[in-house]
Structure 1
Amino acid sequence: MAEALLAEETTGANEILGVQLARRAIRGLKGPIALPHYDDLAFADIDASFQTLRIKDKDTRGFHGKSSGAMLVKTAVDLKNGNLGPPEPMEPVSVSKPRPPATNYTFPDEDLLFSLVSLYFENNTFLPLLHRPSFERAVRHRSHRADEAMARTVLLVCALGARYSTDPRVHLSSAGKAPGWQWFEQVQICQHFRSEHTSIIDVQCSCLTIMFLDATANPRICWNIVGFALRAGQDIGLHRFNMDSRATAFERELERRASWVLLLFDTQIGAALGRGSTLESHEFLHMPIICDDEYWGSPEITNPRGIFRQPPEKPSVVAFFNCMIHLNRILALSCKIMYSSDLERLQVGLEAEGWQGKIVGELESALNAWFEIIPHHLRWDPSFPIQDDTFFDQSAALHCAYHHTRIVIHRPLISAAEGRASRQVSGSTTSCAISHISPDMYRGSARVQPSRRDPAPPTPK
Structure 2
Amino acid sequence: MHDLIELYFTNVDPYFPMLHRPTLERSLLDGVHTTDRRFGALILMICSLASQHSNDPRTLSEGTESEYSKGWKYFRQIQLMHRFEDAPSIHEFQIYPLASLYIHTTNVSSLAFFLVAIGIRSAHQKGVHARHFVVSDNTIETELWRRAFWCLIIFDIYASVTLGRPRVTLPENVDADYPQEFQMGLREKAKDSHTGTVPQSEPSLLSFWTYYIKLFEIVGLANQAFYSVNDSVKTSALWNRLGIPSTEWGQKALIELDAALNKWVDSIPSHLRWDPQRQSEILLRQSSMLYATYYWAQFQVHKPFLSRSSQSEVGPMFPSVTICANSARSLIGLLETHHRQLPFVALPLLIGPLFDSAIVLLINLWRGLRNLVALDPSKELGDVRRCISLLGMYENRYSFFFL
Normalising by structure 1, we get a TM-score of 0.64
Matched, 1:404 2:296: yes
Q: Confirm or deny: 8 A CA contact 1:174 1:181 kept in the other structure.
A: no
Matched, 1:235 2:125: yes
Given candidates 159, 164, 168, the residue that maps to 1:269 is 159
Structure 1 range deviating more: 113-122 or 241-250: 241-250
Residue in 1 that maps onto 2:192: 297
Residue in 2 that maps onto 1:51: none
- Count of aligned pairs: 328
**For residues 127-206 of structure 1, what are the structure 2 equivalents within 5 Å?**
127-173=16-62, 175=64, 176=66, 178-190=69-81, 192-193=82-83, 196-206=86-96
Counterpart Cα distance in 2 of 1:419 and 1:367? 20
| 1:78-116 Cα distance to aligned partner (Å, 9 max, x none) | xxxxxxxxxxxxxxxxxxxxxxxxxxxxxxxxxxx1101
Post-superposition offset of 1:215:
0.6
Q: Share of identical aligned residues, percent?
A: 27
**Alpha-carbon spacing, 1:438–1:228, altered in 2? closer, same or farther (3 Å):** closer
| 1:46-105 Cα distance to aligned partner (Å, 9 max, x none) | xxxxxxxxxxxxxxxxxxxxxxxxxxxxxxxxxxxxxxxxxxxxxxxxxxxxxxxxxxxx
Counterpart Cα distance in 2 of 1:340 and 1:141? 50
Counterpart Cα distance in 2 of 1:174 and 1:252? 42
Counterpart Cα distance in 2 of 1:453 and 1:206? 30
Post-superposition offset of 1:322:
0.5
Normalising by structure 2, we get a TM-score of 0.73
Q: Confirm or deny: 8 A CA contact 1:203 1:229 kept in the other structure.
A: yes
Matched, 1:361 2:255: yes
Post-superposition offset of 1:233:
1.1
Given candidates 328, 334, 339, the residue that maps to 2:222 is 334
Counterpart Cα distance in 1 of 2:211 and 2:129? 18
Residue in 2 that maps onto 1:208: 98
Structure 2, unaligned runs of 5 or more: 342-356, 358-378, 385-403
Q: CA RMSD in A?
A: 3.1
Matched, 1:441 2:341: no
Greater radius of gyration (CA): 1
| 1:3-57 Cα distance to aligned partner (Å, 9 max, x none) | xxxxxxxxxxxxxxxxxxxxxxxxxxxxxxxxxxxxxxxxxxxxxxxxxxxxxxx
Post-superposition offset of 1:163:
1.1
Q: Confirm or deny: 8 A CA contact 1:171 1:179 kept in the other structure.
A: yes
Question: Which one has the bigger helix percentage?
Answer: 2
Structure 1, unaligned runs of 5 or more: 1-112, 302-306, 422-431
**For residues 443-458 of structure 1, what are the structure 2 equivalents within 5 Å?**
443-444=326-327, 451=337, 453-454=339-340
Q: Confirm or deny: 8 A CA contact 2:306 2:320 kept in the other structure.
A: no
Structure 1 range deviating more: 352-361 or 121-130: 352-361
> Is the partner of 1:193 in helix, strand or coil?
coil
Counterpart Cα distance in 2 of 1:211 and 1:375? 27
**For residues 347-358 of structure 1, what are the structure 2 equivalents within 5 Å?**
353-358=247-252
Counterpart Cα distance in 1 of 2:78 and 2:135? 30
Amino acid at match of 1:134: T
> Is the partner of 1:164 in helix, strand or coil?
coil
Residue in 2 that maps onto 1:380: 274
With a CA cutoff of 8 Å and minimum separation of 6, indicate the structure with the bigger relative contact order: 1
Amino acid at match of 1:274: G
| 1:207-245 Cα distance to aligned partner (Å, 9 max, x none) | 111111011001101111111110111111011157675
